[in-house]
Structure 1
Amino acid sequence: MRNRWAILAILFFVRLTIAFQFQSVAAVAPLLETTFGVGLADIGILIGLYFTPGVVLALPGGAIGRTLGDRPTTIAALLLMTAGSLVMAATDVWGWQLAGRLASGAGGVLLTVQLTKMCTDWFTGKEIATAMAIFVNSWPAGVGISLLVLPSIGITYGAGTVFLAAAALTAIGIVLIMLYQPPPGATASATGSARLDPLALLALIVAGAIWGLYNIGFAMVFSFGPSLLAERGWSIAAAGSAISVVMWLSVISVPAGGYLADRFKRPFILAVAASLVVAALLAWLTRSDAVITILVLIGLIGGHPAGPIMSLAARVLAPETRAIGMGVFYTIFYAAMMLGPAVAGRLAKSAGTAAAALDLGALTVLACPPLMWLFERIVSVRHRRTQS
């Protein structure tokens, strides 16, 4: 298979399995609280635990992918994700839930790093912002599907069946990834030096921080949004359906943002403007009864920065540094995503309301524009030095 858009479709679905599995906890959080006798702080830890392996595995994950190859690495990652979900489905002990979540997250880390590198291989210099926006769109699609189907499954059949559904989806991903082929010349181009120059490394750290902070803000909506609405008297199913509006509208706004960035060549302005609006909407959500209106606006606007942000790393990476560079990018991203939900859960517990978590999300999104400016400055300095 050599059509890059067909390849992108495969990568889209396989990455969707990560989002679906990640959201399997938050989608039925009130049910898990009842089943295991835990609180919001514990749920926040379980959500954030999915990203914990990324802090130590993302960087070596890039090296593993470079050594073993794209397809073997992705298959191994999917098998690990499947095993983690099966552990969570088979036990009613909270400690084993944590262990299964860690195993799933480890697989998710390896898969995320490798899939991003594979997408970059196929689209660098060819509609990269559009392709990355579509690729990233697999996340809201997977979260949206989970919010629609998993609460009903959990209520009807129990929490274990929710995790079985996640395992089944990752198994389908294994079948699909067998169809993947690398782009012509990718193997040869990746055999050079994999060392990153200092400014490229710094730029990747900043880019990873931007993506992590923005995702913390977005994750607060679907991680703690259902609990916020449940506090206001919504049923679990109704709360999940309402929050899923954000995800489904993001399916439109994410690729739209990538297209606009490629079309008008103003990704920085687009990402900054959208981030400021999303921060304001998150703060408004906790202080207003116009829930559906705000969720619709977040969905329509919140996806626009995704493509431009995800294309940042490609600007400082050559083919031979992509695997290790994506490892650096995702190490920072996973560190942020590990801490974000856990801190948010603690804040929600202290404040006695999930609204505190969404307020934290507003602040993290607000931090992105100045970091985007810093990234542009680093890239500009690096370009001048390489030209001199």
Structure 2
Amino acid sequence: MADIGILIGIYFAPGVLLAFPGGAMGRRYGDKATVLAAILAMLAGELLMASSSAWTVQIAGRLIAGTGGILLSVLMTKMVADWFTGREIATAMAIFVNSWPVGIAISLMLLPWIATRYGLPLVNLAVGAWILIGLGLMAFFYRAPEAAVSLEGERGSVTSETVYAVIAASSIWCLYNLGLVMIFSFGPTMLVERGWSMAAAGSTISIVLWLTAISVPIGGFLADLTKRGEAIIVAGCIGFALLTLLLSRSGQVLPAVIAVGAVCGLPAGAIMSLPARVLEPRTRAIGMGIFYTVFYAGSPVGSAIGGRLSTPLGSASAALDFGAVLLLACPAILWLFRRIVAGQNRAALPST
């Protein structure tokens, strides 16, 4: 189990160092070309892991694949913003980020069966096949909007106010995701502490994941339909926090789990649309690099704090309570984000 945790951590380790330069690479070499290179890196990492079960090979493969995955996240978020800023941006971002839980859910269904029937190397090859499909889709079907093509390679200046706004938006995204991580990481352990079997605890908490795949796009659609994305962020994060506290204390676990899953995904699309409000097309690539640098730097710290809180307090429910506190901080940071944006707008007005 410890080795699995190390391999998972190694996959995300390049994020802190590569998210910011990844945005710069996209601006210099073009988004599509950089994404294709990122997908090839992911494929190379998977094939390397399939070639040998040696620990050093597994670590090297995870690092290579993780490097590609980080670049993919940074630049494809920017590419979605290029297409949908000023239109259904929250819905588009919700569908985009929803690929993460949906992909995990599909993997949890298929990969264990492949591993049991054919062995672990075939798992890597199966993942590699999915990566090849993504490579083909990107290579042959994606085209950038004309406005983005005309700006490729151009440099834009990022003001200090823009950096502050992007950091605030990324902090909201980081804390929101940590709230989810506390559920997935410590929810099963909490139920085991109450006497549940590990299998029953894991399958029950997984309901949150399945419902999140539904609530995320619904939240994005509502944000665009009502034009009240900030209200959905505030209501969604507060509701998610209160339901998390309920889950950590209630004996009615299944209704609480269903309620968490139905609510927790609602703010995701609106949160991810925040950077597009302050980033111009010329600064979008470098801005998303800043966004993901903060996210990848903060996520492991928050996860470690949640684990450390559970140890002295003697219960995994402490980690869920910690996640609820992080979620309640999101509306406060959103207020700060609004203040920064308002200051930018006032500065942009012509003086009379």
Give the TM-score of the pair, scaled to structure 1. Answer: 0.81
- Give the partner amino acid of 2:182: M
| 1:174 equivalenced with 2:135 (yes/no) | yes
Find the counterpart in structure 2 of residue 121 from structure 1: 82
| 1:211 equivalenced with 2:173 (yes/no) | yes
Find the counterpart in structure 1 of residue 14 from structure 2: 53
Q: CA deviation at 1:293?
A: 1.8
Find the counterpart in structure 2 of residue 27 from structure 1: none
2:258 to 279, 296, 304: 296
Query: Which moved further from structure 2: 54-63 or 136-145?
Result: 136-145
Q: CA deviation at 1:247?
A: 2.3
1:254 and 1:304 in contact (8 A); partners too: yes
Identical-pair percentage: 52
Q: CA deviation at 1:343?
A: 3.8
| 1:247 equivalenced with 2:247 (yes/no) | no
Find the counterpart in structure 2 of residue 111 from structure 1: 72
Q: Deviations over 1:24-51 (max 9, x none)?
A: xxxxxxxxx2xxxx3xxx6555434332
Q: CA deviation at 1:330?
A: 0.9
Q: How does 1:32-51 map to 2 (within 5 A)?
A: 33=1, 38=2, 44-51=5-12
Q: Report the aligned-residue RMSD.
A: 2.6
Q: Deviations over 1:66-97 (max 9, x none)?
A: 12222221122122223333444555555554
Q: Give the unaligned 5+ runs of structure 2.
A: none
- Give the partner amino acid of 1:136: V
Find the counterpart in structure 1 of residue 248 from structure 2: 286
Q: CA deviation at 1:286?
A: 3.0
| 1:193 equivalenced with 2:155 (yes/no) | yes
| 1:84 equivalenced with 2:55 (yes/no) | no
1:45 and 1:342 in contact (8 A); partners too: no
Q: In structure 2, how many angstroms separate the alpha carbons of the residues matched to 1:43 and 1:354?
A: 20
Q: In structure 1, how many angstroms separate the alpha carbons of the residues matched to 2:242 and 2:176?
A: 13
Q: Deviations over 1:176-198 (max 9, x none)?
A: 11121111232113454322011
Q: In structure 2, how many angstroms separate the alpha carbons of the residues matched to 1:370 and 1:250?
A: 24
Structure 2 SS opposite 1:193: coil
Q: CA deviation at 1:124?
A: 1.2
Find the counterpart in structure 1 of residue 234 from structure 2: 272
Find the counterpart in structure 2 of residue 326 from structure 1: 288
1:387 to 321, 344, 349: 349
Q: Deviations over 1:246-279 (max 9, x none)?
A: 2222222112211221222221121111101111
Q: Give the unaligned 5+ runs of structure 1.
A: 1-32
Give the TM-score of the pair, scaled to structure 2. Answer: 0.88
Change (3 A) 1:201 1:100: same
Change (3 A) 1:225 1:144: farther
| 1:234 equivalenced with 2:197 (yes/no) | yes
Q: In structure 1, how many angstroms separate the alpha carbons of the residues matched to 2:129 and 2:59?
A: 20
Change (3 A) 1:147 1:311: same
Find the counterpart in structure 2 of residue 22 from structure 1: none
2:49 and 2:61 in contact (8 A); partners too: yes
2:28 and 2:152 in contact (8 A); partners too: no
Matched residue pairs, number?
348
2:63 to 73, 96, 102: 102
1:81 and 1:104 in contact (8 A); partners too: yes
- Give the partner amino acid of 1:186: A
Structure 1 SS opposite 2:146: coil
